[in-house]
Amino acid sequence: MTNTIDRRTLLRMAGASAGTAVLAGAALSAPAPAGAAGGAFRHGVASGDPLPDGILLWTRLTPTDAAQPGSGVGPEAVVTWQVAADPNFSTVTAQGPLTTGPARDHTVKVAVTGLAPATTWWYRFGYAGAWSATGRTMTAPPANAGIDRLRLGVVSCANWEAGYFSAYRRLADRGDLNLVVHLGDYLYEYGTGEFDAGGTVVRPVLPAHEALTLADYRIRHALYKTDPDLQALHASVPWVITWDDHEVANDQWSGGAGNHTPGTEGDYADRVAAARKAYAEWMPVRTGTDGAIYRRLRFGKLVELSMLDLRSYRSQQASGTAVDDPARTITGDAQMSWLKSGLAASTARWKLVGNPVMISRLDVGTLPAWLLGPLAKLLGIPENGAALSVDQWDGYNADRNELVDHLLANSTRDVVFLTGDIHTSWANEVTTRATGGSAPIAAEFVVPSVTSDNVNDFLGLPEGNALSGLGGSLLRAANKHVRWTDLDGHGYGVLEVTQQRCRMDWYHLVDRTRPGSASRWVAGWSVSAGSSKLSKETAPQA
């Protein structure tokens, strides 16, 4: 983010009948996290990117006390992995060895194949007679399977120094999720005290300085994965993840970052390479042969999920009328082509887009520029209105127009953007000049930060204060496509997808600075199939 807000089923088929399967979450308790201070598997277990026939499994081995993350020392070691259809591993379905060592920071990542689709699986890792905690995961249903329901936890922006990851614990405790979608800023690169909880360090990061080297990023990843709430959610459900900027540095673009000074912090390309290597080692995510992270996963006929990378290929952030420059891009040409063609060709009912930064216009002028006609050019107002944050799609109008024009031209409906980054909660209808400013082409649900500061934190005011409320009212008045926003709360979203509608519910923590904080429901909005207009919902039944 660029503006002041930043500173910085179960996929198992149950109840199948007449060719239709219901993906419903069974009320299973989350497995105990592998978070002890000692032991061979002290960083937990995780799974990700489920396919109909396979899943990606992850852990980190500590073979000796000296083999600490980022140390570059320790022996080569062989880890055994197992997958079973029951938590007691009575019958092991798949297993094998994997050798790890200091070259990969003793992380273990295996792509298991040959599994049955739409099935709940349990997995674990073994070394020297000891087993890791047991993780639970699921394979996706076949692409042509009739699915009645999918339920996702949606999260973004988890800052270690700003609080505890109670949002992850609350999601793990639900027992009804099929998937977690993480939209970026899984970790933050800052040194201690540089970005905390409104000026208070709740718990200090390691290393204490800003992450710059491969060892630094490895240590930071390892610290995050000692969090018991994070471990619990990773161990209870598969994740689908993308990155935003803080996995490298604030306001990252293809050739640099706002939070990188080459003269004192070294070559930027070296920093990116170090951050990306650590990310590939420590995260349960599939990447292409060229390291590309944008990818698409399908869940029967109900959902196709396209995860975007809006940092690796983007042009440098700009302001003023430069945001209209068609030569500038947020996606890059190849990813834009992939996104457009995939959305247009999808046969899934719902096309979800994992979108790290907000795509909806956020105008601060009285009117969008397209309503001002020629006067806009005289005033220097960008084509889609004066933008508040040019780090979002607002700074790349040509790409947004190209995507929306393509959706219109191909009559592509039932597109929902799932967004993070801005630390606040929004329910938006996506409009541009091409839609006439009032007829939405898609919906957007923006989830709050897990812990990172938002408006009231920057103002030094309590949550729900009058000034934040006024700010939200003014934003909605200037942006009719913004149906609801809350500028204060921290927490998470729960997205329920059925054939008839796509509904997001927002939950905010009572106190991010207290371990084990409770959460409360604050709002629900939905979009019906065939329409991009949002409807307000009442609280879900307990």
Q: What is the pLDDT of residue 368?
A: 58
C-alpha closest to that of 481 among 523, 414, 433, 424: 433
Residue 18: pLDDT band (50, 70, 90) is very low
Write down the mean pLDDT value for the chain: 90
30-44, 122-136, 423-437: range with lowest mean pLDDT: 30-44
Q: How do residues 256-300 score in pLDDT, each as one tens digit? A: 999 999 999 999 999 999 999 999 999 999 998 889 999 999 999
Residue 450 and residue 156 in contact, taking contact as beta carbons nearer than 8 Å: yes
Q: What is the pLDDT of residue 478?
A: 87
Q: How do residues 491-525 score in pLDDT, each as one tens digit? A: 999 999 999 999 999 999 999 999 999 999 999 99
Residue 458: pLDDT band (50, 70, 90) is confident
Q: What's the 3-state SS for 121-178? A: EEEEEEECCEECCCEEEECCCCCCCEECEEEEEEECCCCHHHCCCHHHHHHHHHCCCC
Residue 238 and residue 415 in contact, taking contact as beta carbons nearer than 8 Å: no
Q: What is the pLDDT of residue 287?
A: 92
* Pairwise CA distance, residues 137 & 59, whole Å: 14
Q: What is the pLDDT of residue 351?
A: 98
Q: Which residues contact 179 (CB under 8 A, 6 or more apart)?
A: 11, 50, 150, 151, 152, 153, 237, 238, 239, 240, 299
The values of phi and psi at residue 390, to 5°, are -85, 0
pTM over 0.75: yes
C-alpha closest to that of 181 among 48, 26, 56, 277: 48
C-alpha closest to that of 298 among 4, 14, 51: 51
Q: What is the pLDDT of residue 4?
A: 28
What's the burial of 485, exposed, middle or buried (CB within 10 Å: 0-12/13-18/19+)?
Answer: buried
What are the CA-CA distances from residue 33 to residues 61, 306, 445, 520 (Å)?
15, 30, 30, 24
What are the CA-CA distances from residue 15 to residues 8, 82, 175, 179, 527 (Å)?
47, 28, 18, 19, 26
Lookup: tokens for 82:
């197992």
* Pairwise CA distance, residues 16 & 22, whole Å: 6
DSSP letter for each residue of 328-383: --SS-HHHHHHHHHHHHH--SSEEEEEESS--S--B-SSS-GGGTTTHHHHHT--T
Domain boundary assignment for the chain: 13-30+141-537
* Pairwise CA distance, residues 300 & 147, whole Å: 6
Q: Is the pLDDT of residue 21 over 50?
A: no
Fold of 13-30+141-537: Purple Acid Phosphatase; chain A, domain 2 (3.60.21)
Q: Which residues contact 374 (CB under 8 A, 6 or more apart)?
A: none
